[in-house]
């Protein structure tokens, strides 16, 4: 096995997703993922705690990018405007991988354990955005409310983008979802 070949983590993620789509998440073993990637199961566990985490490996980078964008928003920006900047950053991170996102989302949607893990990821993103807003001087409960609303927009926008037969830009779909939320709260 070519365990010393470059990008072992990426190869494992791709092999796992391929197998999850082909055979189902529950029917796929770590050994099969490692074999498909040309690696050993031991190598798999150097990168991922379990076969579930292989689907969520980019969560920390996404969170870091979103929080960094939120913190870099203009000082005069409202809490929701700062969250919109974070949503644009998320779209930049994820928008170039639509087919991968579709496949990943189909695997998650088919498994309750993975849906639960996805909700945990979204809750972590919300908490990180709320912390970022508090560092900007936004008091609670405003910081928490803006962050939760932003994550709702993120989730709805992402699902629309993945399911949309048109090849629209993720940032456009996110902005439309945010505008829709604004429309619901006006008046």
Segments making up each domain of the chain, as ranges: 8-50, 58-185
CATH superfamily assigned to domain 8-50: Homeodomain-like (1.10.10.60)
pLDDT, tens only, 134-184: 999 999 999 999 999 999 999 999 999 999 888 889 999 999 999 999 999
* Correct CATH for 58-185 of 2.40.440.10, 1.10.1740.10, 1.10.10.60, 1.10.357.10: 1.10.357.10
Give DSSP secondary structure letters for 60-129: HHHHHHHHHHHHHS-TT--HHHHHHHHHHHHHHHHTT-HHHHHHHHHHHHT-HHHHHHHHHHHHHHHHHH
pLDDT in tens, 40-91: 999 999 999 999 999 998 899 999 999 999 999 999 999 999 999 999 999 9
Q: What's the predicted TM-score (pTM) here?
A: 0.90
């Amino acid at each position: 096995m070519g365990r010393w070949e470059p990008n072992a983590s990426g190869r494992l993620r791709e092999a796992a997703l391929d197998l999850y789509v082909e055979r189902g998440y529950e029917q796929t073993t770590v050994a099969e993922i490692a074999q498909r990637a040309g690696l050993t199961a031991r190598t798999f566990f150097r990168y991922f705690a379990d076969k579930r985490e292989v689907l969520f490996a980019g969560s920390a980078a996404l969170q870091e990018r979103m929080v960094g964008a939120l913190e870099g928003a203009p000082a005069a920006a409202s809490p929701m405007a700062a969250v919109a900047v974070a949503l644009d950053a998320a779209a930049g991170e994820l928008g170039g991988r639509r087919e991968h996102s579709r496949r990943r989302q189909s695997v998650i949607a088919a498994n309750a354990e993975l849906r639960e893990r996805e909700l945990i990821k979204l809750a972590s993103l919300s908490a990180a955005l709320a912390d970022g807003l508090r560092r900007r001087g936004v008091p609670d409960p405003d910081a928490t409310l803006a962050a939760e609303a932003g994550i709702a927009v993120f989730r709805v926008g992402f699902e629309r983008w993945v399911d949309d037969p048109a090849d629209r830009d993720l940032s456009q779909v996110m902005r439309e979802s945010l505008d829709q939320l604004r429309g619901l709260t006006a008046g």
